[in-house]
Amino acid sequence: MAPKPPKGHFNVLYFASANSFTSMESESLPAPLPLRKLFETLDKKHPGIKVKILNSCLVTVNLNYVDIPEKDDDRNQVTIEEGDEVAIIPPVSSG
């Protein structure tokens, strides 16, 4: 399990191809962060991850799947808060 994020931060968890790309299981990022900015924030830390990995991934916040708003003025803008657990979910392959 990822360690508890430091004060003012949230955790993002990387699985499967996201884990291979970043060579990390998780990292802490400053909160709050609008969900809409998540992919570009991660792409700055891990250049190329958006196109190669994130665009085919789903995202959960505290174990719930969320839609990433496409535009600034989309309704239901979600903000990632301090202490949240965000996860990058690549296409699954159980069985």
Partner 1 sequence: MDPQATEVQEEGCYAGLTHDHLNAQGIMDHVRSPQAGAIVLFAGTTRDNFGGKPVKELQYSAYNPLALRTMMSICKEIREKHDLKLIAMVHRLGTVPIGEESILIAVSSAHRQAAWRAGEEALEECKSRVEVWKLEEFGGEEGGVWRANRDGLQGVQVPASAPTNPQDSGDGPFGPVIRPRRPGEMGHGAVVHPKPDQLG
Least distance between partner 1 and beta carbon 76 (Å): 10
Distance of CA 80 to the CA centre of its chain: 9
For residue 80, what are the contacts with CB-CB under 8 A and spacing of at least 6? 10, 31, 32, 33, 34, 35, 38, 61, 86
Cβ closest to partner 1, residue 15 vs residue 83: 15
**List of residues contacting partner 1 (CB under 8 A):** 1, 13, 15-17, 19-21, 51-53, 55-60, 63-68, 87, 89-95
Least distance between partner 1 and beta carbon 37 (Å): 17
